[in-house]
Structure formats: structure tokens, C-alpha cells
Homo-oligomer: A and B are copies of this chain.
Amino acid sequence: MREALLDHAEALLSQHGFHGVTVRQVASAAHVDPALVHYYFDTKSKLFDAVFLRRAEIVNAERIAAMETYRQAAGSDIQIEGCIEAFLEPIVRHSVQGDVGWKNYFRLVALVNSSSGWGGETMARYFDPVIRKLVQLLRLCMPQASDENLFWCYHFLSGALTLSLSETGRIDRLSEGLCTSTDHLAIYHRLVPFAAAGFRRVCLHGGAPDNAP
């Protein structure tokens, strides 16, 4: 029952945000009484935290493991592409497997990530350790890079990723059906080289074009 409530809360919150969903709606979606929500989670706010935490722990562990595995496999030949792949792979895998729960969760993360009020703090609380690990790994293949450039480039990657995960249907309309918001494999195969090229350009060549004289 607790899990079912989390599932429905996750789906609704990811579409309408914290203030756009009522406890009654969550209860109704799970076909239970609203009072049960308070029984299990006390307050609406704690329900939100529970939703956010549940999958964060799982995906964070997977990402840490994927990056560690790559670091050891690559030895001294660490590539930017490999770091970003390891960072993204667990997310994409869950999405591509078609698990609707995971898709809802990633939409929620995307929404929180661009909420200026409490978004920054919430994201930091749950995800900063993983990101520090990525930056640390990227420093290994770009020892010349300044921390400032590394953090900004990560920031751009984060924005590109979270917009993709939010599946707003925007690109579908824009491309008149040529691209599909939910096609996370298409995203993965383009975002890795896109971001890697961006990192390389900004962090290694100081912003000068690759084809500069």
C-alpha cells in the first residue's frame, strides 16, 4: 500500500509539481482514503521527500558504481566520453527499459532541478555526491582544466539532461514528429558526444573553435 501510494504520488507530482497535486488526488488515484496518506507519511511534504528519496538512493549507487568501474577499466586512458557515459548510463537504462515509474521519477527530478525556490537545495541534498564524483573523474582526463570551467560545463550537461528527461513533448512538436521526447536512446547517443565536445572545447581549448587557425 505504501509503495502504491508512492507510485501514484510520483506520477502526479512529476506532472503538476508539489503545489499542483493534492493529498486527495493521490489517495483517489491509489483508491484509498486520504487519511491513509497521513497515516503513512504524516504530512504532504514528507510524502514528497519519500518519493524523491526512494529512487535517488538506487540510481546514485548505480552511478557511483558505473563511474568507478569505468575508471578502473580505462586505467590511464580515461576519456571524457567514457566519464559522461558512465554518469548517464544508469539513468538511460531505467528509462529505456520502459519502466513508467522511473520515467515519472526522472520527470520529477527535472522539474525540481529548475525550480528556483527550493529546487537548488533539494537537488544538492540528494545528488551532489554523485556530481562531485563525476567532476573528479573528468579532472583526471583534463588536468589542465580550471574548476570554474568544469563546473559550468557540468551545469550545461545537467540542463540538457534534465530537459530531456522531462519529456515535455516540445521537441516532437518543434520537429513535426521527426524527434520523440520519450526516445531516450536517441538522446543518449547524441548527448554524450554533444557534451563531450563541449567540455573539450571549453575546458581544453579555452573556448576557441576546434577549426581555429
Contacts and interface: CB of A to CB of B under 8 A. Distances in A.
Interface in A130-159: 131-132, 147-149, 151-159
A20 to B, nearest CB: 4
A104 to B, nearest CB: 9
A71 interface: no
A115 B59 CA distance: 22
A105 to B, nearest CB: 12
Contacts of A111: 114-116
A207 to B, nearest CB: 4
A114 B115 CA distance: 9
A78 interface: no
A102 to B, nearest CB: 14
B17 A168 contact: no
B207 A190 contact: yes
Given A120-B173, A162-B163, A164-B155, A207 B178 contact: no
A73 B202 CA distance: 26
Contacts of A19: 16-17, 19-20
A200 interface: yes
Q: How large is the interface on A (under 10, 10 to 19, 20 to 34, 35 or more residues)?
A: 35 or more
Contacts of A98: none
Contacts of A132: 174
Interface in A101-139: 107, 110-111, 113-117, 119-121, 123-124, 128, 131-132
Contacts of A6: none
Contact of A131 (B160, B174, B186): B174
Interface of A: 14-20, 79, 81, 107, 110-111, 113-117, 119-121, 123-124, 128, 131-132, 147-149, 151-164, 166-171, 173-175, 178-179, 181, 186-187, 189-202, 207-210
Given A121-B169, A198-B198, A210-B210, 17 more contacts: A17-B20, A19-B19, A111-B114, A113-B114, A113-B168, A123-B170, A128-B173, A151-B175, A153-B190, A154-B174, A155-B164, A156-B194, A160-B160, A189-B207, A197-B198, A197-B200, A197-B209
